[in-house]
Amino acid sequence: MLSYYVMKLLSKIFCLLPWSVVLEFGNLLGRLALKIVPTWRMQMAAANVRECLNVSPEEAQEIAEQSVVKFGRMIMEVLRFPLLNPATIQSVVKTDGLEYLEEAYARGKGALMCTGHFSNWELLGANVALHGYPMLSIARKQNNGAMDRFINEYRELVGQKVAFNHGKEGVLAMGRYLKEKHLLGILYDQDSSDTGIKTKLFGKEVLTPVGPAVFSRTFGCPILPIFMHYDPDGGCRAKIYPPFYVERTEDKEKDLYLATEKLIQILEQEIRSNPSMWFWVHDRWKDGKKRFRKN
């Protein structure tokens, strides 16, 4: 559990320092992270950027590197969660489209807040919760128990409840939260199993989790795509899309496919708008090891 207490100590230190100093530490940490990411992952990331966005090898390499460097800032922002509360969050994150969330939540059916591993998704969840919305965030259990304890404690610190994305208890918690007309936060841009719907991201086939579409169709709740961006001036901005609903026709598979395809189209649009914010070092198309890893 030593790493848990180390993170708590670092959090206290970085909460005392000015943000400009903390940001420098974050950038340094991000640059150090480049040294430990496996070479094959960086090669894969740069190749995928080049193939998806049709940019030069030099620009693709820069985007791939920046997608790793930003994690330094992301970690610093999480360490400063103790400074966040309903009164301070609006000075940290500007929110576009909050009226869409207000309108959707007022319908009394709960809502699905769907995002990707894009910019700081942890701060994105905190932003929604600190605006006063009861929110359950779906998370993957960390391999390191101490770090799992730390990140979940900090998620709850800013008003979120947490359920894991595997197992019966997690599914029951999701369904119960929606029945209680609350918000469910889902990361939908990665596939961790052999299940899902086949769609195309940047023209290349991927398996995409079907959970958001299933929940929306089952409970009649709206889907609100939401993404975090870092503005050119260094600030944070959350962007909430207008809600949409999954149709409930006799063709269930088509209903689920169309909703999932729409989410993927929005994800692709967001990535094109700010490509270095996405998690390119993840083997999204499941061919990275075969193409780049040398055994």
pLDDT in tens, 207-225: 999 999 999 999 999 999 9
Per-residue confidence band for 233, with pLDDT thresholds at 50, 70 and 90: confident
Q: 200 forms bridges with which residues in the sheet?
A: 205
Max Cα distance, the chain (Å): 58
The beta-strand segments (E) located in the chain are 93-96, 111-115, 135-139, 160-164, 183-187, 197-201, 204-208, 223-230, 236-240
| Cα separations in angstroms, 238 against 60, 126, 264 | 25, 11, 18
Please answer whether residues 53 and 272 qualify as being in contact, where contact means their C-beta atoms are separated by less than 8 angstroms: yes
Per-residue confidence band for 145, with pLDDT thresholds at 50, 70 and 90: confident
161 Cβ partners below 8 Å, 6+ apart? 134, 135, 136, 137, 177
Alpha-helix runs per DSSP H in 93-141? 98-106, 121-130
pTM: 0.93
Asked whether the predicted pLDDT for residue 169 surpasses 80, the reply is no
50 Cβ partners below 8 Å, 6+ apart? 56, 57, 60
Per-residue confidence band for 49, with pLDDT thresholds at 50, 70 and 90: very high
The mean per-residue pLDDT over the stretch 105-121 comes to 95
With CA atoms as reference, report the closest residue to 261 among 171, 200, 184, 182. Answer: 200
pLDDT number for residue 70: 96
